[in-house]
Amino acid sequence: MIFLVGIAAFLSTLLGGLFALKIKDKLHLILGFSAGAIIGVSFFDLLPEALKLTEHYFPIPFITTIIALGFMAYMVLDRTIFLHSHHEHGVDCETCKNKRGILGAGSLSFHSLLDGMAMGFAFHVSFTVGIIVAVAVLAHDFSDGINTVTMILKNKGKQEQALRWLWVDAIAPVLGISMTFLFSLSGPSLGILLALFCGFFLYMGASDLLPESHHSHPTYWTTLMTILGMLVLYGAIQLAGV
C-alpha cells in the first residue's frame, strides 16, 4: 500500500508540472496561482505541522524564529550568490536567474523528499495515520509540480530543464518513502525542518513569484489566481484532515 501511495504522489506531481507546461503561454496566471499555492502550503500545511510535531519539545517562539531564519537564509542566497551582478550595467544576467530557478526547484524537490519521508514514517506508525498523512501530501502534490516548473520557466530556464526538474520533484516522494526503511527521523527534527522550509517558501512566494506574476501584466486576474491558489491549498488540506 505504501508504494502505491508513492506512485500516486509521483503521478500527481508529474501531472501538475505537465499542466503548467501545457499552458505556459499564460505564465503570469500560473505564477499568480503558484505564489498563492506556495504561500498557502506555508501557512496551512508546513506551519501547523511544524508546531504540532514540536509542541512538547520547543516553545512556539523558537519555531517562529526558525521560520524567520529560513526566510532570511533564502533571501541571503537569493541576493548575494544568485543575483550578484544581476542588474550590473543594466544587463539582466540570465545565468544568475537560471541559478535562482534551480535553487527554487531544488528546495521544492527537497520538500517533496520530506513529504515522502513523512508518509513513510506515518505508515510505520499505523495504516490509519499513514492514510491521513498521504491524503494531506497528495492534496498539494499537483501544485508542487506546477510550482517546480514555474520556478524554472520564470527564471529563463528552458522547457527541457523544467521537465528534468519535474522528474526530480516527482521521484522525490518515492525516494523519501524508500528512505524510511533505512533510518528514522524524530518528530521534533522533522518539525524543525518543516519550519525552515516554511521560511523558504514564504520568501519564494511573497518576494519572488508574487511580484513577478503581475510584472507588465494587469493585476486583476493574477491577483484572483493568487487568491485561488491559496484557497485551493486551504480546501485540499482541510479535506485531507477530515
Instruction: Specify the residue for cell string 518528530.
Output: 187
pTM across the whole model: 0.68
CA distances from 164 to 2, 94, 106, 137, 170 (A): 25, 19, 11, 22, 10
pLDDT score, position 82: 53
pLDDT (tens digit per residue) in 39-50: 888 898 889 989
Domain count, the chain: 1
114 near 176, Cβ under 8 Å?
Answer: yes
CB contact burial 210-237 (16+ within 10 A = b; e otherwise) = bebbbeeeeeeebeebbebbbebbbebb
pLDDT (tens digit per residue) in 66-89: 999 999 988 887 777 554 444 444
pLDDT (tens digit per residue) in 200-227: 889 888 876 777 666 656 678 888 988 9
pLDDT score, position 132: 61
Task: Domain of residue 236: give its range.
Answer: 2-240
pLDDT band at 90; cut points 50, 70, 90: very low
pLDDT (tens digit per residue) in 127-151: 765 676 676 677 667 778 888 888 8
pLDDT (tens digit per residue) in 138-185: 766 777 888 888 888 877 788 888 999 999 999 999 998 888 888 776
Distance CA 224, CA 25 (A): 18
Distance CA 32, CA 205 (A): 9
pLDDT score, position 183: 74
Burial class of residue 31 (count of CB atoms within 10 Å of its CB; 0-12, 13-18, 19+): buried
Among candidate residues 113, 151, 149, 207, the one with its CA nearest the CA of residue 23: 149
